[in-house]
Structure 1
Amino acid sequence: MSSDQVMRDMMANLPVPEFESTPWASPPPLSEATVAIVTSAGLHRADQERFEGRGDTSYRMLDRGDRELILGHWSSNFDRAAYVSDHNVVYPIDRLEELAVDGTIGAVAPRHVAFAGNQPDTVSEVRLDTGPAAAAELRADGVDIAILTPV
């Protein structure tokens, strides 16, 4: 069996968390919204601590101008060639800048968030601790909308 099939089988059988209620947010119109990226590519700057192995639930804040980012994603199933040729594959910051210039979005957030994608099955610490902490930092920056780029 291929490693790709093993991963597909594993993901198909992971439990999905259920919530008692669904929070609802009403962002401003897209043309007025400040947009941030939240990626699970494990991106970080050279001066930031690297993500550890499986189960690192921490996050890194990335400044809007950061472009020399290190891809900390470990999966053997992830082909890094596309990222090496164009970081927008996992971190579409240049596309957001273009959308802001043409007025499609109101503004690009001053900071963005990177998590490592190799999380524990329950993702409970991200759901209950580091996820809300990262969201609070984005809200403090005036972010209205987050684009999620799972890697």
Structure 2
Amino acid sequence: MARLEDFDDLGRDYFLSMPMPEFDSTPWVEPRPVAAARIALVSTAGLQRRGDRPFSVDSADFRLIPGDTPASDLAMSHISTNFDRTGFQEDVNVVLPLDRLRELAAMRAIGSVAAVHYSFMGATHPAKMQATARHLAGLLKQDAVDIALLVPV
């Protein structure tokens, strides 16, 4: 993980100037035990299935990644020139740990793996994604997902 002290002055000032959200309340629910939970992955790696529309600058939408999608059918269209794609090229699980999730389900460490997973393009300002995130929350609820594992890239 990059730390502020790892950036040059320009990069550090940019991150420090970003507004942080404020919340009026903190909702609380009793979670389902992980061993019984249905889990979905939400990545910011800019992944899509081959043939799907690639991400563009400031894309605030997401792409659906069915759980049975082979790694060879995934492409990355993350637009940041600072983004290192080496990990993705060597092992897709670095940015979408679907194989690890399936292993956990097989070991019964988790209840089940969601039918569909999601990818955003992470170089978009979070405020632009608010409506899309609310829509995604509804889709996760329809799929009876208990836990959305966020995979920031």
Deviations 1:122-143 (A, max 9, x none): x22322x100101111110110
Task: Supply the distance in 2 between the matched residues of 1:64 and 1:29 (Cα, whole angstroms).
Answer: 22
Equivalent positions of 1:90-105 (< 5 A) are: 90-105=95-110
Match of 1:118 in 2: 123
Task: Supply the distance in 1 between the matched residues of 2:66 and 2:74 (Cα, whole angstroms).
Answer: 10
Task: Supply the distance in 1 between the matched residues of 2:151 and 2:66 (Cα, whole angstroms).
Answer: 17
Identical columns (%) = 40
Q: Conserved in 1, the CA contact under 8 Å of 2:48 and 2:77?
A: yes
Aligned-residue RMSD, C-alpha: 1.6
Q: How many corresponding residue pairs?
A: 145
Task: Report deviation, 1:65.
Answer: 1.0
Equivalent positions of 1:1-151 (< 5 A) are: 4-5=7-8, 6-53=10-57, 55-66=58-69, 67=71, 68-120=73-125, 123-127=126-130, 129-151=131-153
Task: Report deviation, 1:23.
Answer: 2.1
Deviations 1:64-83 (A, max 9, x none): 01122111212222211111
Structure 1's unaligned 5+ residue stretches are none
**What TM-score do the two structures reach when normalised by structure 2?**
0.88
Structure 2's unaligned 5+ residue stretches are 1-6
**What TM-score do the two structures reach when normalised by structure 1?**
0.89
Task: Supply the distance in 2 between the matched residues of 1:124 and 1:14 (Cα, whole angstroms).
Answer: 11
